[in-house]
Amino acid sequence: MAGIMAYGAYIPWLRLERKLIAESWGIPGAPGEIAVANFDEDSITMGVEAARDCIQDDPDGVGGLYFASTTAPYAAKSSATVVAAVLDLANDAVTADFGASLGSGLAALVAASEAVDSGAASSVLVAAAECQSARPKTADEQTLGDGAGAILVGKGDAIAEIKGVYTSYDEMMGAWKLPGETLSRESNPRWYTAKGFIPDIAGAIKEAIASFGVAPDNIAKLVVAAPDFRTHQQIAKALGIKDPAKVQDALFAFVGGCGAAQPLMMLAGALEDASPGDKIILAGGGDTFDVVLLEVTDKIKDLAPRRAIKGHMASKKNLDSYARFLARKDMVPAEPDENVSSAIQMWRDRKSVLPLYGKKCEACETVYFPPRRVCPNCHEYDKNVDWKLAKKGVLWNSIDDMLAPNPEPPTTLTISDLEGGGRIFLQMTDREAGTTELGMPVELTFRIIHEGGGFHNYFWKTRPVRQGGIENG
Amino acid sequence: MADLKDVAVIGVGATKFGENFDWGVDDMLTMACFEAMEDAKIEPEKLEAGWIGIQYPFTGFSGATLSDAIKTYDIPITHTENYCVSGLDAFRNACLAVASEQFDMVIACGVEKITDQGGRGLPTAGFGHPVQMSGLTAPSAFGLAFPRHALAFGTTKEHLAHVAVKNHFNGAVNPKAHFRREVTLEQVMKAPIISGPLGLLDCCPISDGSAAAIITRTDIAKKYRDDYVTIKGMGFAAYTNLMMYDKNFDYLAWRPTVKAAEKAYAMAGITDPPNEVDLAECHDCFTITEILNVEDLGFCKKGDGGPATAEGRFNIDGQVAINPSGGLKCFGHPIGATGVRMVYEVTKQLQGRADGRQREGAKVGMAHNLGGLGGVVCGVVILTNEK
């Protein structure tokens, strides 16, 4: 059977203490924090981050990309192909988008294992991401977080083998959105968890354990992605699992619920701490429910270090006001976007815009960006090869600008020298204004630049290397 | 066959620069061009060709922008667009045309009506690539020179402020200047930050305006006036829009200024600029721009631009008077008009007609015009009243 080859995750740099929500409205607040996507992030950019973390910027041999989200940036148009193109996957990679249901992240993982088992793809990278807004003052506002998880499913030398998959469904009106809506409607969450989610998941896990022939006591970790703070604990209890160390942290305390991305993020968290031989039950969903039994192998010891959950958790900045949170959740009207764009120009330049190719001159070996026919150094004409730029480098020059339209000025503009060559001008994100220093290391992150032309114009930005984490790539 | 040194300016005109909300493109062009023709004592029918500098499409398209204003139908008119050098490039092409003897009497002018499109900086939406240079503004493009120049030479924000204080001192007495007031070092230092080290008073304003010059050859000029001025040197150079990607670019000098000045000095036979040039209208869109420019033009050593300005070497009575008009900083900067406005000022100075701001005994004056997001393109024109 297929196995898990690698994992990755992404948690935005920004967090909001829940007490700031509570204090703003004079309502009860839960402890802890939620992760908040910045102005220039959406589920595509966060999916890219998790996927890059998973494959460490090496697309070699990745045969497919499945993307799952209930908050995809396009209602109609693939997000998977954007992520695949940024990752520079070969153009015969299989791509598909999963959505509509909170179960879509796990469903994509199961579909990926089936594609690998059937031979339809050598491997499939599954990226699930959520960038969620909730109605102010609701419980959801303090519950939902932003984040992404990514799992590479393949064959041979897996870090965890997939031992079995059990799938079921249940039709209930728990929470939903009508077309065009960004905020969820819900019926009665107590009814939904009591009569739907808990019995559905617990039942499915019991069936799965029975069909896999695994004794519950032999489960090293129960990974249940549930829609709130406590449901996964209740499911553990229903299964008779009393040792809290055997129940994977659901990330609610400091990230929040990440919808379709939650099971992949939790699995990444479980694999960070896993030992060879561990049996892991991964379960979750909503509408559709999947249970996956995994057995960790020796290969997990060989996996290169990555940020995943712990690295990203350690690197953060807390927003200093609820207003800054609301602005990032599109709850504050933004300045009109006067940018222009061209779908055709962005397509023509797709190789430089998405996977960030420049040129390397074959005459003088200068690496340069943007790609041009004539070398800016030696002026040779058409003697160059495409050259993928490294996603890290050193800051050579920068300025904080208050003039450019920006929901939270200044705009930090940077010129960086990339590892392996290439000097590039980029905006900087996820930094404290005024703290940039020439010579500091920077890394590149894929972000929304503007909405000109009525579509999402993505490109790269620099950011200070996220502290507390492991260097990407 | 004549050459560029046989080219003479016999009339100049300019509107007041500023937020000219009451005047349209047509009004301003008409006022500047008729003032120049009255100064030259010619009628519009005398004009055989025209060049007009305009940067922004919302100001005007094509040469007919000029003929629509002053009704010079049926002659060739060319629109030049070359960033902030659009106007001086119009002047250059007009000079080349009369030097070639294709025409005897032509007009070069420039106009920009920026305030019709809002007032927050220069419009940059849609400039270049949809995403690659996104976020770059005019002050940040030039301001990026500060961190590197400061690192290399110790240039400070206070050095920059001295540029603004000097140029406002000069411009305060200029009746056509956008601003008519002096500023103090403290005011400049404490002004709200726009980009990096550049505060509001380090930045030239968003201005409307127009300027015009009547150009002929010296043999013809003599019939119109004795105090015509002639071309002594001229050099233009374009570099790249992509300097921020160029590993060979160090942000310590504006490359097109250096190259254009080399050419102009070579033609003029100038080897010791601070002792051979009396005054220069020098591109000061931002204070840091002037600091690099005065070095690039050889008015002081590389790296000394800040201290030299602070010491007063570029005051109106200093070694070289830099921006006696008030410069872009105080006089204003309607993009397409600025280069011709510099020719207007240098001509007035060389004619001894720069009331209240006259550089005493001026014989050689320079118009230096730099354009682009950073130093992309430059024109240097050296004029003289020495016959």
CATH value at residue A201 = 3.40.47.10
Indicate the residue of B120, B147, B248 with minimum beta-carbon distance to A377.
B248
Let me know whether A265 and A395 are in one domain: no
Asked whether the beta carbons of residue B247 and residue A368 sit closer than 8 angstroms, the reply is yes
A275, A293, A328 - which closes a domain: A328
Answer whether A344 touches B (CB < 8 Å): no
In a domain, A29, yes or no: yes
| Predicted pLDDT at A472 | 44
Measure A444 CA to nearest chain B CA, in Å: 14
Indicate the residue of B132, B147, B240 with minimum beta-carbon distance to A399.
B147
Determine the distance from the C-alpha atom of residue A74 to the mean position of all C-alpha atoms in its chain, rounded to a whole number: 16
Asked if B333 is an active-site residue, the reply is yes
B119, closest residue in chain A (CA to CA) = A403
Q: Categorize the per-residue pLDDT at A473 as very low, low, confident or very high, splitting at 50, 70 and 90.
A: very low
Let me know whether A308 and A404 are in one domain: no
Residues of chain B contacting residue A342, judged by C-beta atoms under 8 Å apart: 130
Find which of A39, A361, A415 to mutate to test the B interface (most B CBs within 10 Å of its CB): A415
Contact A463/A398 with Cβ under 8 angstroms? no
Asked whether the beta carbons of residue A413 and residue B144 sit closer than 8 angstroms, the reply is yes
Asked whether the beta carbons of residue A401 and residue B135 sit closer than 8 angstroms, the reply is yes
Find which of B117, B122, B132 to mutate to test the A interface (most A CBs within 10 Å of its CB): B132
Would you say the C-alpha torsion B27, B31, B32, B37 has a positive or negative sign? Answer: positive
Residues of chain B contacting residue A338, judged by C-beta atoms under 8 Å apart: 125
Measure A226 CA to nearest chain B CA, in Å: 39
Answer whether B242 touches A (CB < 8 Å): yes
A 437-466: CB under 8 A from B: 438, 449-450, 452-453, 457-459
Number of domains forming the structure of chain B: 1
End-to-end CA distance of chain A: 29
Let me know whether A122 and A243 are in one domain: yes
In a domain, B38, yes or no: yes
pLDDT of A469 higher than 60: no
Answer whether B263 touches A (CB < 8 Å): no
Let me know whether A114 and A205 are in one domain: yes
Least confident of A79-88, A240-249, B141-150: A240-249
Answer whether A416 touches B (CB < 8 Å): no
In a domain, A436, yes or no: yes
Answer whether B245 touches A (CB < 8 Å): yes
Residues of chain B contacting residue A400, judged by C-beta atoms under 8 Å apart: 195-196
Indicate the residue of B146, B194, B247 with minimum beta-carbon distance to A402.
B194
Contacts of B118 (CB under 8 A, 6+ apart): none
| Predicted pLDDT at B126 | 59
A328, A356, A387 - which closes a domain: A328
Chain A, chain B: beta-carbon pairs less than 8 Å apart: 116
Asked whether the beta carbons of residue A377 and residue B251 sit closer than 8 angstroms, the reply is no
Number of domains forming the structure of chain A: 2
| Predicted pLDDT at B125 | 60
A 21-50: CB under 8 A from B: none
Residues of chain A contacting residue B139, judged by C-beta atoms under 8 Å apart: 401, 403
Residues of chain B contacting residue A368, judged by C-beta atoms under 8 Å apart: 245, 247
ipTM: 0.96
In a domain, B193, yes or no: no
Answer whether A60 touches B (CB < 8 Å): no
E strand or H helix at A280, and its extent?
A: strand A279-286
Asked whether the beta carbons of residue A404 and residue B244 sit closer than 8 angstroms, the reply is no
B 99-118: CB under 8 A from A: none
Contacts of B26 (CB under 8 A, 6+ apart): B68, B69
In a domain, B34, yes or no: yes
Q: In what order do the strands lie in the sheet with A94-98?
A: A94-98, A64-68, A124-130, A147-154, A3-10, A160-169, A288-296, A279-286, A221-225
Query: What CATH code is carried by the domain that includes residue A379?
Result: 2.40.50
Residue with tokens 């403290």: B186
Measure A435 CA to nearest chain B CA, in Å: 12
Residues of chain B contacting residue A399, judged by C-beta atoms under 8 Å apart: 140, 143-144, 146-147, 195-196
Let me know whether A176 and A218 are in one domain: yes
Determine which one of B162, B168, B283, B333 is catalytic: B333
Let me know whether A322 and A350 are in one domain: no
In a domain, A336, yes or no: no
In a domain, A161, yes or no: yes
Answer whether A357 touches B (CB < 8 Å): no
In a domain, A472, yes or no: no
Asked whether the beta carbons of residue B126 and residue A340 sit closer than 8 angstroms, the reply is yes
CA-to-CA distance for B18 and A270, rounded, in angstroms?
65
Asked if B109 is an active-site residue, the reply is no
In a domain, B96, yes or no: yes
Indicate the residue of B121, B147, B251 with minimum beta-carbon distance to A403.
B121
B243, closest residue in chain A (CA to CA) = A425
Tokens of A71: 């908050």
Asked whether the beta carbons of residue A340 and residue B125 sit closer than 8 angstroms, the reply is yes
Average pLDDT over every residue of A346-372? 97
In a domain, A473, yes or no: no
Indicate the residue of B130, B132, B247 with minimum beta-carbon distance to A342.
B130
Contact B381/B343 with Cβ under 8 angstroms? yes
In a domain, A48, yes or no: yes
Per DSSP bridges, beta strands B49-53 and B77-80 are: parallel
Let me know whether A376 and A291 are in one domain: no
Q: Categorize the per-residue pLDDT at A171 as very low, low, confident or very high, splitting at 50, 70 and 90.
A: very high
Let me know whether A123 and A254 are in one domain: yes
What is the domain extent for residue B9?
Answer: 4-117+207-217
Contact A357/A328 with Cβ under 8 angstroms? no
Let me know whether A217 and A315 are in one domain: yes
Q: One digit per residue, pLDDT tens: chain B, 387 residues?
A: 789 999 999 999 999 999 999 999 999 999 999 999 999 999 999 999 999 999 999 999 999 999 999 999 999 999 999 999 999 999 999 999 999 999 999 999 999 999 998 667 887 665 679 999 999 999 999 999 999 999 999 999 999 999 999 999 999 999 999 999 999 999 999 999 999 999 999 999 999 999 999 999 999 999 999 999 999 999 999 999 999 999 999 999 999 999 999 999 999 999 999 999 999 999 999 999 999 999 999 999 999 999 999 999 999 999 999 999 999 999 999 999 999 999 999 999 999 999 999 999 999 999 999 999 999 999 999 999 998
Residues of chain B contacting residue A404, judged by C-beta atoms under 8 Å apart: 124, 135-137, 140
Let me know whether A366 and A293 are in one domain: no
Let me know whether A354 and A456 are in one domain: yes
Determine which one of B33, B79, B84, B378 is catalytic: B84
In a domain, B342, yes or no: no
Let me know whether A377 and A307 are in one domain: no
In a domain, B300, yes or no: no
Query: What CATH code is carried by the domain that includes residue B22?
Result: 3.40.47.10
Strand partners, A213: none
Portion of chain A with pLDDT greater than 70, in percent:
99
Answer whether A387 touches B (CB < 8 Å): no
Asked whether the beta carbons of residue A423 and residue B245 sit closer than 8 angstroms, the reply is yes
Indicate the residue of B130, B195, B248 with minimum beta-carbon distance to A345.
B130
Q: Categorize the per-residue pLDDT at A228 as very low, low, confident or very high, splitting at 50, 70 and 90.
A: confident
Contacts of B65 (CB under 8 A, 6+ apart): B25, B29, B52, B54, B59, B79, B111
In a domain, A470, yes or no: no
Measure B156 CA to nearest chain A CA, in Å: 15
A263, A294, A328 - which closes a domain: A328
Query: Which candidate, B243, B239, B368, B360, places its Cα nearest to that of B298?
Result: B368
Q: E strands along A92-239, which residues?
A: 94-98, 124-130, 147-154, 160-169, 175-176, 185-186, 221-225
In a domain, B284, yes or no: no
Residues of chain B contacting residue A403, judged by C-beta atoms under 8 Å apart: 120-121, 137-140, 194-195
Phi, psi of B280 (to 5 degrees): -140, 130
CA-to-CA distance for B65 and B110, rounded, in angstroms?
10
Asked whether the beta carbons of residue A368 and residue B135 sit closer than 8 angstroms, the reply is no
Asked whether the beta carbons of residue B140 and residue A459 sit closer than 8 angstroms, the reply is no
What is the domain extent for residue A100?
Answer: 3-328
Asked whether the beta carbons of residue B131 and residue A459 sit closer than 8 angstroms, the reply is yes
Centre a 10 Å sphere on the Cβ of residue B78 and count the other Cβ atoms it contains. Answer: 18
| Predicted pLDDT at A468 | 59
Answer whether A338 touches B (CB < 8 Å): yes
CA-to-CA distance for B137 and A61, rounded, in angstroms?
42
Q: Write the single-letter amino acid at A241.
A: I
Portion of chain A with pLDDT greater than 90, in percent:
89
In a domain, B77, yes or no: yes
